[in-house]
A and B are shown apart, each in its own frame.
Chain A
Amino acid sequence: MTTHTGPHPTRRLILQGAASVALIGLGNLPFAPARAAANDKYPEEAFKLKNEADAIKALYGKTAEPSDKIKLDAPEIAENGGVVPISVTTTLDKVTSISFFVAENPNALAASYKIPDGTIPAVANRLKMAKTSSVTAIVEADGKLYSATKEVKVTVGGCGG
């Protein structure tokens, strides 16, 4: 019944963060030729933007349409807002990137993964969430953008029956 103590960044979280950066870096390597031209550099600008729509625009330069071919797995209520397990798999073809947006975070873009040709389009990561928010996964496939969204509650906890 008291307020939250802020989540502490765990070592694991830091490692995960590093992994996502590394994956983004892969897009530049010669053995994984980038399919999309617009976003093969570290998208510094997109990560700085506060608003989700702005961040999507900065990252991809276009808008997404909802797709039932994306399976976004996220808890309804987070057990720990500091490390919320969120994953995406998709049956879409020719997937080149998968990105995650947390609308209510200080910066909406949480992670962006380049998917090299021939890779199974499945990403599992843990996102830090400041508060209750929608989480949107954007899948770039064959040059088009598709999305799936789910509300994830981050509560102060307590008071169960």
Chain B
Amino acid sequence: MAIRRRDFLKSSAIAAASLVLPRFARGTETASIYDIERFGNARILHLTDTHAQLNPVYFREPSVNIGIGEMTGRPPHLVGHAFLEHFGIRPDSADAYAFTSVEFEKSAGRFGKLGGFAHLKTLIDRLRSDVGDKHAMLVDGGDLWQGTGLANIMQGRDMVEVANLLGIEAMTGHWEFTYGEQVLRENLEHFKGEFLAQNVFLTEEAAFNDAPAFDKATGRVFKPSTIREIGGHRVAIIGQAFPYVPIAHPKRFTPDWTFGIREEELQKHVDALRGADKVDAVILLSHNGIDVDLKLASRVTGIDVILGGHTHDAVPQPIAVKNAGGTTLVTNAGSNGKFLGVLDLALDKGKVSDVKYHLLPVYSELLKPDPAMAELIGKLRAPHVTDWVDKIATPDRLLYRRDNFAGPIDELICTALRSELDAEIALSPGFRWGITALSGQPLTMEDVLAETAITYPETYVQEMTGTEIKDVLEDICDNLFNPDPYYQQGGDMVRAGGLSYTCSPTNAIGSRISELKLTNGKALSASRHYKVAGWASVNGQQGAPVWDVVGKYLRSGRMFRERLGTGVSLKGVDGNPGIAG
């Protein structure tokens, strides 16, 4: 299968001048970047990890996304200029702003926010009608129902309504599971599309107790795949939910279900679709994360394309992976509604003969919001949002989250936790969702919720020894840097406040973290007990929700008088193109 190189000429033309940096002008000439040449006979539109961001957002891509071992310097572990060079994107262009952190603040003013479901609706409808509805399908890779205060309070129901109007036909899940089985099932009853997951099974106990399942014989809780007629051919879409739900989140949400990558079951299912069902193409709609998908693609045969998510990597071109049966293409389509993946397939009897892929940035200033979707979003937000829109602070710096080790948003959360809960050290999870807030722009409670809205937001304070703290850091660091992707859960390093340390990503677990020090410069003692505050614990906690703690702290006005620092020094990764120079 040939991958055609994306034509960036059209979008670079937008920012042709270098002395005067032009803003986007609403007009037909710029919107032409969405004119995609007709190709093949089936178009699959792929959204993933929108994290319920109904309205357009700023979202800064990472400047640190280190790959080690085989992943060193390979997409998606390229950032900044290394990323631009690899994919042939002009530094001044709109695409450079969308795909990287290069000159983010300067470009944010020029190119504006991305995403938004009313804008997505306009773009999706256009790309569907360009090829005709019988030739197109819209799929979502999960993390659709979580990420905002609204989604949290409505337990994802807002996003089900939005998904129905958008026309999502199949999806899989990750954070969807954190609402628990009952809410998940209720939401799915209202969802007009299909929820697919080949890798979620009843536990033996649940099966013995006759718990509900899609297929009692295999114990599969959900339908594993769907076969659709697209462009006169049979296309199978298999769902792959996030494999580590009961590990990354409290087990109480999914007590009856067991997950995992389930390579063997997947292979059997692909073989059955190819054999008995005689499909022409097999697509894996995956929430594995791209490093896991790349390994899986090298081992499981018979999958044409993996449409991937979870790790929030905006990868402009698919990565071709060879395996015993041929080649599998692996994509990852970014996050927060910033991007729409467009997979055009040339299908023949029993095979995909050619593929063309675009990862389109959803520039909200170039797309007219769809009126029906805008109305639905307004209606959904109206009852809840009035409490959240007042300014509670004005940041004096760019607030973002994504980077392997630290980001100003999490420094803020850690500082709030330490201050409000009177702790020496704070730990905050390395989530990859959460929007970016510009310096000098009002920050609202809605913005705070967009960084914190989960179903287990309770804060805690506990005593931990220096050894226990180091062990936690080592454990989570291995989730990022285990050389075998199957041992990675995705997400970034836990954020530490009041604590600095050195990390050697290329070392083995147990020897990556060293030189732990408190803010006052004192070395962390192995045996001393420290007061540690945190949130998002997988164990039940009783403290106030983290958004209230952060909100209270911000309202006090203390935050921006303090100097923030990341506190993590890196060793052994000099020159790694996953670190912006």
Contacts and interface: CB of A to CB of B under 8 A. Distances in A.
A161 B534 contact: no
Contact of A156 (B251, B475, B487): B475
Chain A interface extent, by class: 20 to 34
Given A1-B429, A12-B205, A161 B492 contact: yes
B155 interface: no
A3 to B, nearest CB: 6
Interface string B258-292: 11110000000000000000000000000001000
B46 interface: no
B317 interface: no
A5 interface: yes
A158 B310 contact: no
A161 B431 contact: yes
Chain B interface extent, by class: 35 or more
Interface string A134-159: 00000000000000000101011111
A64 B174 CA distance: 41
Given A79-B251, A159-B429, A160-B489, A3 B468 contact: yes
Q: Is the interface of A mostly helix, strand, loop or mixed?
A: loop
Contact of A2 (B260, B430, B431, B462): B462
B374 interface: no
Contact of B534 (A1, A78, A79, A157): A1
A2 B476 contact: no
A77 interface: yes
Nearest to B258: A79
A66 interface: no
Nearest to A1: B534
Contacts of A160: 174, 242, 244, 247-249, 429, 431, 489-491
Contacts of A25: none
Contacts of A151: 484, 487
Contact of B536 (A5, A155, A158): A158
Given A3-B464, A77-B489, A155-B247, A161 B433 contact: yes
A77 B489 CA distance: 9
A155 B479 contact: yes
A63 interface: no
A1 B494 contact: yes
A26 to B, nearest CB: 23
B556 interface: no
A76 interface: yes
A156 B472 contact: yes
Question: Of residues B249, B479, B490, B491, which shows the largest number of chain A Cβ atoms within 10 Å of its Cβ?
Answer: B479
B553 interface: no
Interface of A: 1-3, 5, 12, 75-80, 132, 151, 153, 155-161
9 contacts: A79-B246, A156-B538, A157-B248, A158-B536, A160-B248, A160-B429, A160-B431, A161-B311, A161-B490
Which 6 pairs, one residue from A and one from B, show the smallest C-beta to C-beta distance? Answer: A160-B248, A161-B491, A159-B429, A161-B490, A157-B538, A161-B432
